[in-house]
């Protein structure tokens, strides 16, 4: 079968991956599941993996097939698999968990002590087929297209995971600032809108992204290149500030907004990454706000997100590309030329 493989780390997105002929995966244990990939979302994290940004955090055996946002049709199952059968359409949580360590027993999927992560530590879905297991697949409701829903396997669940935490501390009439209405941000905005009665303030440098925010429920949109975002949020909230900030950019320019955006006791959620947090300790003491990190989400949260999608509360803005266009997609994303989410269709 064909697979888009990373052979060495590089900053050259035009030649980051090569299309190789590799052996199709086989079920190797009783809980294994092989999925014929119909859609695999491209993520900014894929660019970071190509650059080698994750090498110091996880062990990555190269060459590696990338792709951690996967959905498709089951083509083979292990003898003890009961949740799906051959022919079922599924979305795949990117992490395969052991189920027996303490974090697993607490339901903390992302903290599994023995995990494998498709497209990051083990082969992913930029390929004709993907090997996963029963603990990671979620059957799709009738009428849900695997290609359309694929990016929710990471982009969606990550945005939902952060939004769910934020919504727990949002009362009706509170303000929630969403920074970056891109591949994750346009999903997070919809999740906040579906689960709260907060006033949503969307911030993005691109007019097309602000238009997308308008379409998906933002009450206000701000252009940080021409507007003073803290001043505008101050006016919108009558000087109170935003109870919650969802930062889908995570650059120095956005994290440094926290002291001037957050209401007393508020949270600045870091979802995008690449920048740093450099704030005086006194700023946190004075405002008693918090920075909160986010990474993907629990298996059960992906189930909840699928339910929101099935109800029509969360939509995806996507564009589709053939497998041999992976490097083109990487370049487009690097230059900010993709609105919403790109989906590879092997």
pLDDT-derived band of residue 228, with 50, 70 and 90 as boundaries?
very high
Which residue, of 252, 278, 293, is where some domain finishes? 293
Residues of the domain holding 278: 159-293
The per-residue pLDDT for 340 is: 83
- Reply yes or no on whether the pLDDT at 317 is more than 90: no
Domain's final residue, options 277, 293, 309:
293
Does 150 lie in the same domain as 6? yes
Write down the pLDDT at residue 338. Answer: 86
Q: Return the CATH number at 232.
A: 3.40.50.720
| 283 and 300 within one domain | no
Q: How confident is the model at residue 174 (pLDDT cuts 50, 70, 90)?
A: very high
Task: Report how far Cα 36 is from the mean position of its chain's Cα atoms.
Answer: 21
Can you give the pLDDT at residue 274?
Answer: 87
Burial class (CB in 10 A: 0-12, 13-18, 19+), 188: buried
Confidence at 339, pLDDT banded by 50, 70, 90: confident
Domain count, the chain: 2
Residues 24 and 80 in one domain: yes
pLDDT at 222 over 90: yes
pLDDT tens digit sequence for 95-139: 999 999 999 999 998 999 999 999 999 999 999 999 999 999 999
Q: Residue 257's pLDDT band (boundaries 50, 70, 90)?
A: very high
145 with 183, same domain: the answer is no
Are residues 18 and 146 both part of a single domain? yes
């Amino acid at each position: 079968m064909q697979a888009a493989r990373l052979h060495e780390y590089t900053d050259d997105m035009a030649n980051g991956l090569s299309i190789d002929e590799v052996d199709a995966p086989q079920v190797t244990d009783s809980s294994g599941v092989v999925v014929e990939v119909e859609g695999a979302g491209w993520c900014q994290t894929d660019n970071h993996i190509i650059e080698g940004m994750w090498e110091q955090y996880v062990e990555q055996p190269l060459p590696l097939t990338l792709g951690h946002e996967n959905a498709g049709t089951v083509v083979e199952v292990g003898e003890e698999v009961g949740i799906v059968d051959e022919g079922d359409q599924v979305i795949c949580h990117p992490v395969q968990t052991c189920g027996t360590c303490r974090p697993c027993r607490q339901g903390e999927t992302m903290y599994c002590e023995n995990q494998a992560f498709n497209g990051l530590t083990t082969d992913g879905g930029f390929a004709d087929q993907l090997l996963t297991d029963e603990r990671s697949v979620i059957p799709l409701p009738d009428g849900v297209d695997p290609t359309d829903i694929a990016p929710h396997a990471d982009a969606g669940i990550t945005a939902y995971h952060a939004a769910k935490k934020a919504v727990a501390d949002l009362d009706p009439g509170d303000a929630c600032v969403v920074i970056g209405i891109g591949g994750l941000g346009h999903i997070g905005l919809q999740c906040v809108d579906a689960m709260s009665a907060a006033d949503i303030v969307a911030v993005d440098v691109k007019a097309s992204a602000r238009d997308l925010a308008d379409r998906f429920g933002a009450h206000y949109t701000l252009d940080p290149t021409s507007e003073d975002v803290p001043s505008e949020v101050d006016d919108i909230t009558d000087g109170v500030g935003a109870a919650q900030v969802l930062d889908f950019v995570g650059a120095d320019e956005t994290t440094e907004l926290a002291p001037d955006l957050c209401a007393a006791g508020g949270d600045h959620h870091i979802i995008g990454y690449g920048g740093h947090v450099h704030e005086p300790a006194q700023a946190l003491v004075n405002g008693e706000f918090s920075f909160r990190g986010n990474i993907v989400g629990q298996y059960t949260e992906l189930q909840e997100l699928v339910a929101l999608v099935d109800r029509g509360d969360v939509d995806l803005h996507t564009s589709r590309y053939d497998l041999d266009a992976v490097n083109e997609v990487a370049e487009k994303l690097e230059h900010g030329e993709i609105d919403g989410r790109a989906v590879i269709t092997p």
